[in-house]
Structure 1
Amino acid sequence: MSSPPESNLAKAASQSVAIPRSLSLKTKITGVMLLTVSAIAAIVHFPWAYTSRQNVDDMVSQINSELMNSTENEVGHLFENILSSKQLITSSLDEGLIQLDDPEVQGRFYLNLLKANENFTWVQFAFANGDYLGAQRRSDGLYNLIQRQWDDTLGAQAEPGSELAEVQAKRAEIADQYLQDQRLPADFETADKTVRTYQFQANNDWQILEESTGKEFYYAPIRPFYRDAFEQPDENVWTDLYVFKTGNAVGLDAATTYREAEDSPIRGVISISFELQQISQYLDELKDDGEGAIFITDSQGSVIASSNPLALSETFVGEGTNADAELLPLGQVEDPLLQVAYQAFRTNNIELNQLIGLQELTFYDSTTRQRYYIAVQPLGQLDWVVGTVTPESVFLTRINRSRNRLLIVITAFLGVGAIAAVWLSDRAITRPIMNISDAAEAIESGTFTKVSLDETINRRDELGKLARVFEKMAQEVYNREQNLKRQLQALKIEIDESRKSREVKEIVETDFFKDLKIKAQHMRERRHHNSFDKSSKEDA
């Protein structure tokens, strides 16, 4: 017998839904949104990273320019302050605001000037007769006022031919001899020395903390700043670097001679000085986080200051009364970065005494296996040169640091984007579509109701329109399905009756049924004959 029609329909239905499993719609939408966010992040990040790496040279040039300009401005500002302060002292003397023979007023004036200019180490006046009055800034924040006096009056001027003039001339002769053999006569009487230590008070006044007196050989005209100024009278003179008498610190002076009138003799020399260590401390503060190095040399390559003050600590202090400073050549400073600069200058034939403008170069050091950016240019003061040395890794570190920050932002953006994508896709797209999908399954299972699409039907967008169309279609499908079921039921009844007729016909047309029918006919005939015979006998 053939299979029932309904069983064939069921098989066809089961075959039609045998679809391979795949990712859910929610997963696909979330993935697409994440890929979109990631693509945007990549579009932002990779060009930025590439451009940053390519612009390292521009970054180096800009940073070196800023460092050099800051150094040049600071040193230039220092030199300008020194010159203007010397002019202020000269004007104050000319106008009688301070008197050379009044150490009290003159000393307070120098202390106030020193306090107002933090880069100054000394403000001093050296007299032609050998006397001296100067204010010193100490490293502990206190101030010394030092007075050295040979004669009864500070800075006394002797009349020609007088006994005092003979004493002063003999003193000058002994001082000149001392410069040659560093020896004094046994009966030579040295100058009186008075040292007063001051502290600046909150009420803008000076408080004396201690006072000491003694004897010391200090003859002002043999000091380097005095001799240099005396050789160029009435001019602003910068001394070479030398060892200061007090503290043995290495520094230099700006000095100028002073006379009370144009035709009068020189009364002495005004001098303002600063120590090299102060410049190195400024460079150390200027260099950010100790990355790279800034240095100042003279035209011969001797290091004057560096952003690594410890490497020059031995050059900040010297020995001897009038000794020149013993500066270290660039190649002998125990600083790896300055060594790199020295090697780079040698390799590229850079002569510091022939520099005209900015020189920038790169140098690969095989020892450290690093690439370095080096720049050098004249400082604009004296014969000094300022230079910078910066490892490439410094800039790469900054780039990597910025890249890491950007990656953190991108990661956070991706996280927020993922959460937003899931929420939005679920609420705006996936959930309505899943409602329609569930409705389709309900239609398949015969459990569909209008209520299942109410939430989606009320939407005013395309999905709402789709839900309304789907609901109408579902109703039509439902009605058609019910009609088909009724037709199928009627068809089944008709098929059953037809089948019964066919089966009866088949039975009737069999030989057995025919024989049985003939036998039945014979039996009916015999029964009828017997009945007739019985009836005849009764009649008879």
Structure 2
Amino acid sequence: MAKEKTTLLLRSIILLIFIISLFLSAVCYGALIFTNWMSSAKKTTEQIAADANEYIYKQVCSFMQAPYQMNELTQKIIENGMLDLSDEKQRDRFFAAVLEAQSNEIYSFSYGTANGEYYGARRNGNGVIEIMRNNAETSGESWYYSVNEDLAAENLVVRAGKFDPRTRAWYKAAVEVGGPIFSPLYKHFVMDDLTVSAACPIYNESGKHEGVVGTHMLLSDIGTYLRDAVDKYNGIAIIIDKESNYLIANSMGAANFTVLQDGTLDRYGIEDIDNTDIQNAYKQYKTNSDLEKIYKGENDNIFLNTKEIHMDGIDWLVVTVIPESIFMTDVMNSMLWAAIIATLSLLLSVLIYNLFMNKYIKPMESLLLVSYELSSGNLSKRVDIIRNDEIGHISKSFNNVADKMQALIVNLETVVQERTEELRKANITLSESKDELRLILDSAAEAIYGI
């Protein structure tokens, strides 16, 4: 006996097609969304790195331009004779007023003459402005005076040691180039901070060098610009001297230098930063200095953006690093929730499908059961018609066929019964004729034998 072939029910086939179609649609749609999200997140992170770098660049440039502008204005005032440096009261008020108008990052504003005199104003350790004097009256020492409400020198508060401005790096640099320039970085005399000076030489009408104007700034606040730019993105920003690779400032709060016992500076480089991702990314940047690149870190991909700052005596590099995970984490969480919602939607769709299938496929089951009854010989079974759709029309047609089949079979039985009865009667008639013939033959035989 041949084994019956296993077949799937129509409901199962429809359900399988439905689930596969829904699953493929969800996968394709999810893949499209995920790809777009990933691309959008990367572009956004790249743009954030670029914007943060641009913000830092503008802030630092603005920060560094302030002393340039002060020196340029002072140069014009002195060379045009608008400020009489021999007038002690006028000179003191000028330097104190200009310094008071500037931000606290500019801690000193001064003028060193060609014969070694030194005048100006400074902010002390408490941020209070003091007048500076260094001339023959002070025996070549720097004396500092408190300032009254009229910005005039009042009381002598500090007597510092001998000081000759002509020995300072900023003075020498300005004399050497004969124009505005920034000095090499050095340590502040009192505070543990890096300092840079903007210097500008002063000449008289005959072109003779008379002195150098210097504006001196603390660099610690540059780190504040860096932190403000990248902290909200969990990023890191650093400024590096391109020639020496020494750190100028960083957003991590790490030290950029240390002071040795002899008072000299031990500058830190990028290799001293406790972040191997930045170190490796910077090394790759040095070999292939694209403006924007993505680097693979130990735990995360990072977007690196760089911008160079070029001024007289300044050749710095601003490096901004933004981790990819700042947006990728949100993307992955969104995709996880999307997958959970899609799964729940799929299960809900299957449940709704079953409810509808039970409602709309049940007449087909009834049709199938009736067909089984008819095939087994029970011609009295009919399909209950409960709907007026396609299945209802099929059920009506099926019932009509069943009626005709039953009528034909019943009619066939009647004909067979009639024919059987006619045959029985014919047999009876034939039997009677046979008996009569036999009687005739027997009578004839007797007659013959009697003769």
Match of 1:535 in 2: none
Match of 1:110 in 2: 99
Letter in 1 for 2:403: N
The answer to whether the Cα contact below 8 Å between 1:238 and 1:253 also exists between their aligned partners in 2 is yes
Matching residue within 384, 395, 409 for 2:338? 409
**Does structure 1 residue 340 correspond to structure 2 residue 291?**
no
Quickly say closer, same or farther: Cα 1:47–1:372, change in 2 above 3 A. same
Match of 2:67 in 1: 82
**Does structure 1 residue 131 correspond to structure 2 residue 127?**
no
Query: CA offset at residue 78 of structure 1?
Result: 2.7
Letter in 2 for 1:144: V
Letter in 1 for 2:243: S
Quickly say closer, same or farther: Cα 1:262–1:478, change in 2 above 3 A. farther
3-state SS of paired residue (2:172): helix
Match of 1:282 in 2: 225
Quickly say closer, same or farther: Cα 1:370–1:469, change in 2 above 3 A. closer
Query: CA offset at residue 246 of structure 1?
Result: 3.4
Q: Provide the C-alpha distance between the structure 1 equivalents of 2:88 and 2:19, rounded to a whole number of angstroms.
A: 84
3-state SS of paired residue (1:470): helix
The one-character-per-residue Cα deviations of 1:177-205 (angstroms, maximum 9, x if unpaired) are xxxxxxxxxxxxx6244389x9xxxxxxx
Letter in 2 for 1:33: F
Aligned length: 408
Match of 2:360 in 1: 432
Quickly say closer, same or farther: Cα 1:248–1:468, change in 2 above 3 A. closer
Letter in 1 for 2:266: E
Q: Give the alignment of 1:61-460 within 5 angstroms.
A: 69-87=54-72, 101-102=89-90, 103=92, 107-114=96-103, 120-126=105-111, 128=113, 129-135=117-123, 143-149=127-133, 167=137, 171-172=139-140, 191-194=143-146, 213-217=157-161, 219=163, 221=165, 224=168, 227-228=171-172, 231=175, 235-257=179-201, 266=210, 269-275=213-219, 277-287=220-230, 289-291=233-235, 294-310=238-254, 312-315=255-258, 325-337=265-277, 339-340=279-280, 358=290, 378-381=308-311, 382-386=313-317, 388=319, 394-395=323-324, 399=328, 402-420=331-349, 422-423=351-352, 426-427=355-356, 431-439=359-367, 441=369, 448=382, 452-453=386-387, 457=388
The answer to whether the Cα contact below 8 Å between 1:337 and 1:389 also exists between their aligned partners in 2 is no
Instruction: Supply the RMSD in Å over aligned alpha carbons.
Output: 5.5
The answer to whether the Cα contact below 8 Å between 2:144 and 2:157 also exists between their aligned partners in 1 is yes
Q: Which runs of 5+ in 1 are unaligned?
A: 1-17, 151-164, 176-189, 199-210, 351-356, 458-463, 510-540
Q: Provide the C-alpha distance between the structure 2 equivalents of 1:236 and 1:472, rounded to a whole number of angstroms.
A: 104
Question: More strand by proportion, 1 or 2?
Answer: 2
**Does structure 1 residue 40 correspond to structure 2 residue 25?**
yes
The answer to whether the Cα contact below 8 Å between 1:377 and 1:387 also exists between their aligned partners in 2 is yes
Quickly say closer, same or farther: Cα 1:319–1:257, change in 2 above 3 A. farther
Q: Provide the C-alpha distance between the structure 2 equivalents of 1:433 and 1:61, rounded to a whole number of angstroms.
A: 56
Match of 2:439 in 1: none
The answer to whether the Cα contact below 8 Å between 1:123 and 1:272 also exists between their aligned partners in 2 is yes
Query: CA offset at residue 124 of structure 1?
Result: 1.8
Query: CA offset at residue 451 of structure 1?
Result: 5.3
Letter in 1 for 2:386: S
Q: Which runs of 5+ in 2 are unaligned?
A: 150-154, 374-379, 433-451
Query: CA offset at residue 241 of structure 1?
Result: 0.3
Match of 1:483 in 2: 407
The answer to whether the Cα contact below 8 Å between 1:295 and 1:307 also exists between their aligned partners in 2 is no
Query: CA offset at residue 252 of structure 1?
Result: 0.4
The answer to whether the Cα contact below 8 Å between 2:245 and 2:269 also exists between their aligned partners in 1 is yes
The one-character-per-residue Cα deviations of 1:270-326 (angstroms, maximum 9, x if unpaired) are 414231x3333433443464456644124022232334331x2544x6888xx7743
Quickly say closer, same or farther: Cα 1:75–1:504, change in 2 above 3 A. farther
Q: Provide the C-alpha distance between the structure 1 equivalents of 2:38 and 2:291, rounded to a whole number of angstroms.
A: 22
Q: Provide the C-alpha distance between the structure 1 equivalents of 2:261 and 2:179, rounded to a whole number of angstroms.
A: 29
Q: Provide the C-alpha distance between the structure 2 equivalents of 1:502 and 1:144, rounded to a whole number of angstroms.
A: 147
3-state SS of paired residue (1:101): helix
Quickly say closer, same or farther: Cα 1:438–1:330, change in 2 above 3 A. same
Q: TM-score, normalised by structure 2?
A: 0.65
Letter in 2 for 1:476: N
Query: CA offset at residue 242 of structure 1?
Result: 0.7
Task: Percent identity, please.
Answer: 10
Query: CA offset at residue 470 of structure 1?
Result: 1.6
The one-character-per-residue Cα deviations of 1:123-144 (angstroms, maximum 9, x if unpaired) are 52346433331247x8xxx842
**Does structure 1 residue 470 correspond to structure 2 residue 394?**
yes
The answer to whether the Cα contact below 8 Å between 1:372 and 1:389 also exists between their aligned partners in 2 is no
Query: CA offset at residue 262 of structure 1?
Result: 7.7
The one-character-per-residue Cα deviations of 1:305-364 (angstroms, maximum 9, x if unpaired) are 334331x2544x6888xx774312444455434553676689x6x9xxxxxx64889999
Q: Provide the C-alpha distance between the structure 1 equivalents of 2:382 and 2:167, rounded to a whole number of angstroms.
A: 112
Query: CA offset at residue 239 of structure 1?
Result: 0.9
Quickly say closer, same or farther: Cα 1:81–1:23, change in 2 above 3 A. farther
Q: Provide the C-alpha distance between the structure 2 equivalents of 1:340 and 1:81, rounded to a whole number of angstroms.
A: 35
Letter in 1 for 2:397: M
Query: CA offset at residue 147 of structure 1?
Result: 2.5
